Amino acid sequence: MGLAPVAWRIFEGQLRHAPGDPAWPNRDRFVLSAGHASALLYALLHLTGYDLPLEALKQFRQWGSITPGHPELGVTAGVEVTTGPLGQGLADAVGMALAERMLAAQFNRPGHEVIDHHTWVICSDGDLMEGISHEAGSLAGFLALERLVVVYDDNNISLDGPTSMSFGDDATGRFTAYGWRVLEIHDGNDLDEINRVLDNARASDGRPTMVRCHTHIGFGAPGVQDTNKAHGAPLGEEQVRLAKKAYGWPEDAQFLVPDEVAAWAGELRTRGAGYVAEWETAMDGYAADFPAQAAELRRRLVGDLPAGWDQHLPEFPAGESLATRVSSGQSLNGLAAGIPELVGGAADLASSTNTTIKDGGDVTPGSYSGRNLHFGVREFGMAAALNGMAAHGGFRVFGATFMTFSDYMKNAIRMASLMHLPVIFVFTHDSVAVGEDGPTHEPVEQLAALRAIPGLVTLRPADARETAAAWRQAIARTDGPTVLVFTRQALPTMDLDPPVDKGGYVVAPGDDVALIATGSEVSLAVEARALLAADGISARVVSIPSWEIFGAQPEAYRDEVLPPAILARVGVEAASPFGWERWTGTYGRIVAIDRFGESAPGALVMEKLGMTATAVADAARASIAKAARR
């Protein structure tokens, strides 16, 4: 209610959008980072002519409705990203604004500004309290993302009460220090002042812009205005009546849209259709002068991969020992040669994670034609910005850091999965074999936590060949995010053509016991198989680089890889044992790590924590004995 005037002026007077064509590529993006104000967004989408009928507003927050409690991408026409976890909408918008500048730098030509749009955001006090807002604000200011406009709803109220209880930041000084321009709307109900300031905000001076807008939460409802009672709870019949009275609105009207307002919505749809027609005409002129670039731009905006996109993936000779982070870097560069829209970077760890695209150029302030992004030590902000870039379209994106720091990014990874965005998260230094850096940098529980996220595919390859195949799988996936997990230590390359697209497969045959492993522990299982063979025990080695993909295979294939008749099984992974019972069954054993690591050479840490071929062989014998006693 307090935001309604400025939000209306954004939608009606500033956004170049097409309510009849919500996917128009050159539209201005709008992000409601303060996702708890979703009812406002739904009202705006309905009033401005999107496919959101009044009946849908009546089903607000009900099962199966298209008006959920927080805006969700893919559920409601006109919603650009899923928001609600505060701060992430702002960071998503930074990614969107960055994608716009990068596409413009790569494709625009003099006289042909075919990529030319803004990203608008409404954020709250809560958004600015979240730490991710500092990461996002700092990055946007550094990169001079001049097409980004953030309207800060400064109403001095959060859910628990006045913001003065916990929040006293000088937001103007803070964002000015980040390199933003800060404007101010002193009265959030003064439409003329709103128009003047928003017009100024759109005319950028080379910096992103924050508009600090002073509003009254629950405006017009005398019992709750300017209190936290207006934050989330229903007003109640009496406060609704009094608010309507204060507005001069019919007190008995419900879901009323006056005819003249409905007519205005039709005009906005017509205006939006005009924007689309103008752009298509501009694209025709662009195609006449630059046919190859126009065809490439349209391909990228649709999201199709180029023909032969994986033909440059490297081939790795059997027997060669490489850390999978090294073979990952080589695979990434092979793919980058065939996929020009593949861009990304790291949280100040590109040299350690091997995620630099060679000869790709860097994205720097005011220069956006490169392919390498430098996110700084901003893991959470990086992940959310990648989500925004993926939602914007035109790029396939990746971001990298050490596996243990995936915890900083977890909610953004979850949001990528919730939005079905094809973001690739690259995590290296994947186990206690990291060694000398010690337990702070040695992941243990992270694999289990990532595997628990619905819709996320996690791939932990065992060698260079599995690594190349894992990258191919990640690129081919378009309906959700993928996590790629790589080692610091070298691993032997197996003489196999691994079917990673199946999620799991037989590395070596055997009938007495199944040794099931992922990543670096597959080679450990192979060593254990040789020890068992000396005792006349036939051990099958199975690699499951992706639990999710393997679990989704037909039962017949899974039984082929892990025959039900083989009751003796050992799960092997240098990480938490959580979840491994799924594969080891009733009689199985698990060789894993259920404690934090130590600072010492990686091989010694693995040995001391029981990750040895001997330990695997002993577990196999114990499982065989248990199965025999059934």
Last residue of a domain, one of 492, 512, 544: 492
| Residue 438 zone, left/alpha/beta (φ > 0; ψ -120 to 50; rest) | left
Closest listed residue to residue 315, CA positions, set 472, 200, 510: 472
Place of tokens 């009094």: 242
Closest listed residue to residue 577, CA positions, set 563, 591, 561: 591
Q: Is residue 373 a part of any domain in this protein? A: yes
Q: Rounded CA gap, 315 and 334, in Å?
A: 10
Are 34 and 153 spatial neighbours (Cβ–Cβ below 8 Å)? Answer: yes
Q: What is the pLDDT of residue 231?
A: 87
pLDDT surpasses 90 at 513? yes
Q: Do 22 and 54 belong to one domain? A: yes
Q: What is the pLDDT of residue 421?
A: 98
Q: What is the pLDDT of residue 114?
A: 98
112 lies in which domain range?
4-217+257-272
State the DSSP code for 437. Answer: T
For the chain, what's the residue count? 630
The residue type found at 556 is A
Q: Is residue 164 a part of any domain in this protein? A: yes
State the DSSP code for 14. Answer: I
Q: Is residue 212 a part of any domain in this protein? A: yes
Q: Could you tell me the pLDDT band of residue 265, with boundaries at 50, 70 and 90?
A: confident
Q: Do 472 and 519 belong to one domain? A: no
157 is written with which tokens?
Answer: 């109220």
Cα-based distances in Å from 18 to 76, 120, 198 = 15, 15, 20
Average pLDDT over residues 10-24: 97
Q: What is the pLDDT of residue 418?
A: 98
Q: Which CATH number characterizes residue 545's domain?
A: 3.40.50.920
Q: What is the pLDDT of residue 232?
A: 80
Average pLDDT over residues 534-547: 98
Last residue of a domain, one of 244, 272, 300: 272
Strand order in the sheet with 342-346: 372-374, 342-346, 396-402, 424-428, 482-485, 457-459
pLDDT surpasses 90 at 86? yes
Q: Do 40 and 188 belong to one domain? A: yes
Last residue of a domain, one of 272, 300, 335: 272
Q: Could you tell me the pLDDT band of residue 317, with boundaries at 50, 70 and 90?
A: very high
Q: Could you tell me the pLDDT band of residue 93, with boundaries at 50, 70 and 90?
A: very high
Cα-based distances in Å from 162 to 167, 174, 354, 579 = 9, 20, 47, 44
Q: 374 pairs with which residues across the strands?
A: 346
Q: What is the pLDDT of residue 264?
A: 87
Place of tokens 């979703």: 38
Q: What is the pLDDT of residue 60?
A: 97
User: Is 62 strand, coil or helix?
Assistant: coil
| pLDDT tens by residue, 109-129 | 999 999 999 999 999 999 999
Q: What is the domain count for the chain? A: 3
Q: Do 416 and 553 belong to one domain? A: no
Q: Rounded CA gap, 229 and 88, in Å?
A: 24
Q: Do 59 and 150 belong to one domain? A: yes
Q: Rounded CA gap, 527 and 521, in Å?
A: 10
Mean pLDDT of the chain: 97
pLDDT surpasses 90 at 404? yes
Q: Is residue 53 a part of any domain in this protein? A: yes
State the DSSP code for 362. Answer: B
pLDDT surpasses 90 at 424? yes
Are 49 and 267 spatial neighbours (Cβ–Cβ below 8 Å)? Answer: no
Q: Do 434 and 529 belong to one domain? A: no
Average pLDDT over residues 99-103: 98
Cα-based distances in Å from 476 to 144, 335, 423, 424, 501 = 33, 11, 11, 11, 10
Q: Do 177 and 42 belong to one domain? A: yes
Where in the sequence numbering do the catalytic residues fall? 379
Are 52 and 304 spatial neighbours (Cβ–Cβ below 8 Å)? Answer: no
> What would the DSSP string read from start to end of 320-351?
-EEEHHHHHHHHHHHHHHH-TTEEEEESS-HH
Q: What is the model's pTM? A: 0.97
| pLDDT tens by residue, 180-202 | 999 999 999 999 999 999 999 99
pLDDT surpasses 90 at 243? yes
Q: What is the pLDDT of residue 473?
A: 98
Q: Do 442 and 511 belong to one domain? A: no
Q: Which CATH number characterizes residue 182's domain?
A: 3.40.50.970
Average pLDDT over residues 438-465: 98
Long-range CB pairs of 604-607, under 8 A, 24+ apart, other chains included: 604/435, 605/432, 605/433, 605/435, 605/442, 606/431, 606/432, 606/433, 606/574
Closest listed residue to residue 519, CA positions, set 502, 548, 543, 498: 543
pLDDT surpasses 90 at 422? yes
Place of tokens 């993302």: 145
| Residue 169 zone, left/alpha/beta (φ > 0; ψ -120 to 50; rest) | beta
Q: Do 509 and 485 belong to one domain? A: no
Q: Do 539 and 619 belong to one domain? A: yes
Q: Do 530 and 437 belong to one domain? A: no
Q: Is residue 225 a part of any domain in this protein? A: no
| Residue 206 zone, left/alpha/beta (φ > 0; ψ -120 to 50; rest) | left
Q: Is residue 375 a part of any domain in this protein? A: yes
Q: What is the pLDDT of residue 266?
A: 87
Q: Is residue 356 a part of any domain in this protein? A: yes
Average pLDDT over residues 278-286: 98
139 is written with which tokens?
Answer: 């990055």
Average pLDDT over residues 469-480: 97
Closest listed residue to residue 539, CA positions, set 512, 520, 559, 570: 512
Q: Is residue 306 a part of any domain in this protein? A: no
What element of type H or E holds 263?
helix 259-289
Q: Do 187 and 64 belong to one domain? A: yes
Q: What is the pLDDT of residue 13?
A: 94
Q: Could you tell me the pLDDT band of residue 171, with boundaries at 50, 70 and 90?
A: very high
Give the CA count within 13 Å in the CB-facing half-sphere of 167.
19
% of the chain at pLDDT higher than 90:
97
Question: What is the gyration radius of the CA atoms in the chain, in angstroms?
Answer: 27
Q: Could you tell me the pLDDT band of residue 630, with boundaries at 50, 70 and 90?
A: confident
| pLDDT tens by residue, 323-346 | 999 999 999 999 999 999 999 999
* Other beta carbons less than 10 A from residue 298's beta carbon: 13
